[in-house]
Amino acid sequence: MPGNRAVTYMGPGHVEVQTIDYPELVLKDGPGVNPLNVGRKCEHGVILKVVSTNICGSDQHMVRGRTTAPPGLVLGHEITGEVIEVGRDVEFVKKGDLVSVPFNIACGRCRNCKEGNTHICLNVNPDRPGSAYGYVDMGGWVGGQAEYVMVPYADFQVLKFPDKDQAMEKILDLTMLSDIFPTGFHGAVSAGVKPGSTVYVAGAGPVGLAAAHSAQLLGAAVVIVGDLNAERLAQARSFGCEMVDLTKHDSLPEQIEQILGVPEVDCAVDCVGFEAHGHGPEHREAPATVLNSLMEVTRAGGRMGIPGLYVTGDPGAVDEDAKQGTLKLRIGLGWAKAISFVTGQTPVMRYHRQLMMAILNEKAHIAKAVNATVISLDEAPQGYKDFDRGVARKFVIDPHGLIRR
């Protein structure tokens, strides 16, 4: 039996590659595993040899110490891999299949899954609806920034690529199907983007760039991306977005008016989340800034998509309310303007097949939009450091050296 090396959270600002147990078709005890999940048999699952697994901004929140994640947690919820073992109850997934794994873990049996709400499955996380690999308070399913990983409910969840050779040629695009491409697309769809829309995307990290690319795919007339990071804004400009440098001016409506002639947009997407900063040259952390500014610049009757992460426990928050996820929102403004919004995890399975087809047929080029950059498993700790300082890259970990660079 081979070993299994994995990227492990060791404490705030510290990740390292460790040797962990080779996966089995059972959820064993370990860091972050809910006691009610220990010993859970997964004959409906598969073991994957990981082909690619990406560093996500959500991982970075944990690594910064901004969640209650325990030391020893194996990271990684963006997984693409080859099936090397199938459970007794798996019928349609076969050894040798190359598959994308939605970051949401979903049983396919509960009411929410049957209604297509796989992001809030009722059966995989004893703490609350919804689960994910390698993430705090998500039930304890082992993360996939590793050489091998177990994926439960395989027949329901995984997306098989129709041709392995073609998939490996486009693997840097297809690896984004596990999370950020569907997440950005969900943000744009939730915001009501359609042909001719004007769109503001808050945040030029990988999810923000994915949302901007998605808005273009949906036919937006103008996509404006705002951020405090000049390098990431340049990446947004590289594929045709307008940009707003939020360090230079604290009035977002005025900056939008300079671009559109009016100080508002049809649709807005929050791709920042709970570590948001205020605007202007003296900006500092202000977690409700993005939500409130989006309500300000979204037209009356407009919509907001909020794929940006908000948590119920943040030990590093700026005040006691924010430590519990309680933010000071201008809900009165949102009510007066009749703005609707959608938040929560993205139901990846709602979108990943159609986005796969867009990639395979040259309609979507998400790897270029997010500047996909391949690194080895041993380079992952440095990748986290580089990502934390704001480089305009989406790091793709290649545990077995299978990706052509």
What does pLDDT average to in each consecutive run of 10 residues of the chain (405 residues)? 89 96 97 96 98 96 94 98 98 98 98 97 96 96 98 98 97 98 98 98 97 98 97 98 92 96 98 92 90 97 96 90 92 96 96 98 98 98 96 98 90
pLDDT given at position 218: 98
Q: Walk across the sheet containing 5-11 and list its strands.
A: 14-19, 5-11, 73-74
- Using an 8 Å Cβ cutoff, are 366 and 191 in contact? no
pLDDT given at position 62: 95
Q: Does domain 180-343 have CATH number 1.20.1250.20?
A: no
CA–CA distance, 234 with 378 (Å, rounded to integer) = 29
pLDDT given at position 282: 83
Q: Which H/E stretch holds residue 332?
A: helix 331-336
Using left for φ > 0, alpha for ψ between -120 and 50, and beta otherwise, residue 305 falls in: beta
**What does the domain layout of the chain look like in residue ranges?**
5-179+347-398, 180-343
pLDDT given at position 1: 57
pLDDT given at position 57: 93
- Angle formed by the axes of helices 289-297 and 252-260, nearest 10°: 40
pTM: 0.96
Question: 242 — phi, psi (to 5°)?
Answer: -75, 160
* CA 199 to chain CA centroid, nearest Å: 20
Q: Amino acid identity of 52?
A: S
pLDDT given at position 281: 86
HSE-CB for 113 with a 13 A CA cutoff: 17
CATH code, residues 5-179+347-398: 3.90.180.10
pLDDT given at position 280: 86
In 3D, which of 247, 237, 274 has the Cα closest to residue 371?
237
